[in-house]
Structure 1
Amino acid sequence: MIDKLEMFIALANERHFGRAAEVCGVTQPSLSGAIRQLEDQLGVQLVWRGSRFQGLTPEGQRVLEWALRIVADARTLREEMRAARQGLAGNLRIGVIPTALSMIVDLTAGFAARHPNVHLTILSRSSHEILTALDRLELDAGITYLENEPLGRVTRVPLFHESYGLLVAPGHPLAGAARTSWAEVARLPLCLLTPDMQNRRILNHHMNGAGVEARARIESNSVITLAAHVATGDWASVLPSRMAELLTGPRLVAVPIDDPSARHPVGLITPEREPHTPVIAALLDAARRLPDLDGGKAPGGSR
């Protein structure tokens, strides 16, 4: 039944029989047959069918909740037994908010060195996409903001606090400034992350707090796209300080924003589950042992 539940979860996630079959590595008739067998075993209809997938029935929605729990427990059991036989191995999928991509290496480099048989996949995702993918078992862990918006039932380990810098070209009037303010930043022609990104909502909040409205002439979900536009000299952007520093060079300058200063905690999250799979447990342990990127020791994980 576990295999059928995994196919059912894939169908619920993809909302398309063909794409779900691809994800599961089976033919579409095989997947359709497995779903019908699952319906026969449970004695309820799970899927509204027409010429194409039309959604889950109310019973299907309830079965999905159980399926996610059962499949997660089964995966934990399989991985624990494999770790007992072969040592730590497997795949680890981590979703990372775009503004933390420059920081993830502090966690993953040491983890990968200690566990060479674990394959890491790091994906850029918005904070909302990370939470959704964790619920659907499409990600194993996430690096995201720990405050501002609800996280739900997750295990969390704080990693660092995000502060902010203005990114401009060397010829910009503020390029030589020691610091700047949110009010001054808001008056510039800005290119910023898209509103679906929590970073953008944070920036809007700070500019509104300074009595000005954040208006971006260019929006993108790519930090590299923002930096490329800033380098032309026509725009400015606001990025986390460390990422801004990483991008500085002959064509870009970072100026601290500290009037007023802003700091927001970012950390590792995983679904709240006991026991965790061996791979996730090792990742949480690595995060708790990581020196705090703000300069001290990272506090222990909390829920």
Structure 2
Amino acid sequence: MNLRDLQYIIAVAETRHFGKAAARCFVSQPTLSGQIKKLEEELGVAIFERSNRSVEITPVGHTILEHARLIIEQADVIQQLARAQQDPLAGPLRIGAIPTLSPYLMPLILRPLKTQHPQLRLVLSEEMTDTLLARLHHHEIDAALLATPVEDHDLESIALFDEPFWLAYPREHPFYNQDEISREDLDNTELLLLSEGHCLAQQTMDLCNLKARKDQGEMADLRAASLETLLQLVGAGFGSTLVPALAIGGSWTSGSGIVARKLDFAGASRRVSIVFRHSYPRRQALEALAEVIWAHLPNTVTPVHGTATPPQPA
């Protein structure tokens, strides 16, 4: 058994296809299949259940793969520790970010990060919270920028900033003539929501007490896959929605017929954090990223400087 064999079985587990796994590992399919077969014979168990149509992981295979990922990560740790002796902020940093944050935060920090840490290469992916957490556990990314609390004894976080919610609505909306907008006002109006899986959709429902009536009303079936689409619907007069503060700088705020107002009541915000595995060895790189983010935030959000939140007890 060697690291290459473990990389092969991880690739097959993630692609569920021997040909795609071989392409990912830059070897021929017969080579990859043969090595995995030898490994299974050496262990005396089947890691995969093969058929003409699918590749499934056996129960013992799932356990073997958990250990294989840990071993590969620890091998990466050895390489990273060696590189760190030369430059602790060199090499790739794989960061995931949620779609309601990434388009607005990344343009603020990418150039400063490159200027301050030219040897640090940010590898960015944009996915929803559950997917990012799964990828963290599978060691596919190093950290995730999230806007929801995470209670997981394997993960910890660095709080970055509190981001208020703003209410976006058409100029002809009744809110246009109100001096203040209260939580009760939101409770009594229908809001456009993002599709399920977006943390902003759940945050909107929690803030506005929408759980009991999320499947009711004219807008119940009108959900968008992105914040940009949601704002297009608002601009077309289909309703109102909540917008995170960083998105206020977008092009939609001018000439779109949309009015945006900050909500000034308790709880009308979300906390953005860097979430990472407790075992991740390059904490200094994450701290450097946090410093760059803090230094380049607009005044629409409130920085939260602090130490990492320790993992939750099991």
TM-score band, normalised by shorter chain: 0.7 to 0.9
SS of residue in 2 equivalent to 1:301? coil
Q: Which residue of structure 2 lines up, in the alignment, with residue 291 of structure 1?
A: 294
Taking the aligned partners of 1:184 and 1:245, their CA distance within structure 2 comes to: 25
Q: Which residue of structure 2 lines up, in the alignment, with residue 300 of structure 1?
A: 307
Q: Which residue of structure 1 lines up, in the alignment, with residue 194 of structure 2?
A: 193
In the alignment, structure 1 residue 253 sits paired with structure 2 residue 259? yes
Taking the aligned partners of 1:181 and 1:163, their CA distance within structure 2 comes to: 14
Q: Which residue of structure 1 lines up, in the alignment, with residue 140 of structure 2?
A: 138
Match of 1:281 among 274, 284, 290: 284
Superposed CA offset, 1:145-166 (max 9, x none): 352x534411310011232111
Shift of 1:119: 2.5
Q: Please, which runs of 5 or more residues in structure 2 have no aligned partner?
A: none
Taking the aligned partners of 2:119 and 2:28, their CA distance within structure 1 comes to: 30
Amino acid at match of 1:269: V
Amino acid at match of 2:245: S
Amino acid at match of 1:263: S
SS of residue in 2 equivalent to 1:233? coil
Q: Which residue of structure 1 lines up, in the alignment, with residue 205 of structure 2?
A: 204
SS of residue in 2 equivalent to 1:302? coil
Seen in structure 2, the aligned counterparts of structure 1 residues 95 and 178 have a Cα distance that, compared at 3 Å, is: farther
Superposed CA offset, 1:21-56 (max 9, x none): 333333332322232122233332111112143421
- Percent identical: 27
Shift of 1:250: 1.8
Equivalent residues of 2:49, 2:57 under 8 A apart: yes
Q: Which residue of structure 2 lines up, in the alignment, with residue 266 of structure 1?
A: 272
Backbone CA RMSD of aligned residues: 2.7
Q: Which residue of structure 1 lines up, in the alignment, with residue 213 of structure 2?
A: 213
Equivalent residues of 2:88, 2:285 under 8 A apart: no
Shift of 1:120: 1.8
Seen in structure 2, the aligned counterparts of structure 1 residues 300 and 259 have a Cα distance that, compared at 3 Å, is: closer
Aligned ranges for residues 2-81 of structure 1 at < 5 Å? 2-81=3-82
Equivalent residues of 2:187, 2:209 under 8 A apart: no
In the alignment, structure 1 residue 230 sits paired with structure 2 residue 234? yes
TM-score, normalised relative to structure 1: 0.85
SS of residue in 2 equivalent to 1:99? coil
Shift of 1:195: 1.7
Seen in structure 2, the aligned counterparts of structure 1 residues 291 and 213 have a Cα distance that, compared at 3 Å, is: same
Taking the aligned partners of 1:30 and 1:138, their CA distance within structure 2 comes to: 24
SS of residue in 2 equivalent to 1:208? coil
Q: Which residue of structure 2 lines up, in the alignment, with residue 242 of structure 1?
A: 246
TM-score, normalised relative to structure 2: 0.83
SS of residue in 2 equivalent to 1:239? strand
Shift of 1:142: 0.3
Shift of 1:267: 0.3
SS of residue in 2 equivalent to 1:291? helix
- 197-206 vs 187-196, greater mean Cα deviation: 187-196
Q: Please, which runs of 5 or more residues in structure 1 have no aligned partner?
A: none
Superposed CA offset, 1:39-88 (max 9, x none): 23333211111214342122211111111110011112112323435774
Amino acid at match of 2:73: A
SS of residue in 2 equivalent to 1:45? coil
